[in-house]
Copies of this chain bind each other. A is one copy, B any other.
Amino acid sequence: MSDGHFSDRLLEAIESKRSHVVVGLDPEYGSLPPEILAAHPAENYATDRVMKAACYSDFLCRIVPAIADVACAVKPQIAYFEALGTYGYALYEDVVSMAQKHGLLVIADVKRGDIGSTAEAYAQAHLDVAGADAITVNPYFGTDGLEPFFKRCREAGKGAYVLVKTSNPTSAELQDVALQSGEPVYARVADLVEGWGRDAVGERGYSSIGAVVGGTHPTEGAKLRKRLSTVPFLIPGYGAQGATAGDIAAFFDERGTGAVVNSARAILFAYKKAPDKHWLDAARDEAEAMRSALWQAAGRA
């Protein structure tokens, strides 16, 4: 059963690769390496969007293999693909398959959530058709807007990370408002997530229904780690958004696991800070440095 359980598969990847690193695939056009831009001159393409899709494809098909043995998973951010319309959506589906062929788990960062019948269509889109291993989802609708995703976690080896405490500056406006219990809104969401995940706990002790907790909130992360013993964390906010390995330490359990950490821009575009390296080497070196820093922060080295 271990083969088919998302969280078990992810924990196995962490151990075998000695890495908590998730590489975020956010192919921002303005940051692509000059070599990629030069290979796709605008005059070769009918439209700006087709040209950009060709650039993204070229970039991602080269960078994913370069980081494949340093990362346990990749996290394509679908918004960057949707911004190119149909060309981008086709590429999103390709990138999911391509990354899996390189031995990576794929967490599709789609943050979907809707009423039940609509959520079923979203689950088909991203877990069945695109075939991602896991996705991110939004809790605002409550249980029946998430059940189609959770069903695939229990029955089809998929994973779902529910937004709990996000990494952005204004996350407090709604997530930190105090409830009558004195606790913030996100603590209520955290408890819901634990309940949702109870039927999807794998052999290694973690559920396939996890929580997104921003690395920019280490105090909250430490409290949530203690409170949610079977809920794995997906931690954005490392690198470009400001969280350090020291901030992340509290998000790991006493075995140094239970969390994976995403970095996108700081890895993808590491060449900007390393002008003497090829952009692929710069990205790989940055991912390696992140792997080491996190391994140490998790108490493993």
Binding site for B on A (CB under 8 A): 26, 28, 49, 77, 79-80, 82-86, 88-90, 93, 111-119, 121-122, 124-126, 129-130, 138-145, 163, 166-175, 177-180, 182, 185, 188-189, 192, 236, 241
Q: B79 contacts A116, CB within 8 Å?
A: no
> Residue A143 contacts which of B28, B129, B170, B192 (CB distance < 8 angstroms)?
B170
Q: CB-nearest residue of chain B relative to A86?
A: B90
Residue of B nearest to A130 (CB): B85
State whether B125 touches A85 (Cβ < 8 A): yes
* Residues in chain B near residue A118, CB distance under 8 A: 26, 77, 79-80
Nearest chain B CB to A1's CB is how many angstroms away? 28
- Assess whether B141 is in contact with A166, with CB atoms less than 8 Å apart: yes
- Indicate whether A177 sits within 8 Å of B185 (C-beta atoms), given known contacts A49-B129, A83-B125, A125-B85: yes
Instruction: State the CA gap A126–B20 with chains docked (Å).
Output: 34
Complex contact A144–B168 (CB within 8 A): yes
A41–B86 CA distance with the chains assembled, in angstroms: 25
Q: Sorted from nearest, which 9 A-B pairs have the closest CB atoms?
A: A142-B170, A142-B173, A82-B125, A79-B121, A89-B89, A86-B90, A115-B168, A83-B121, A83-B124
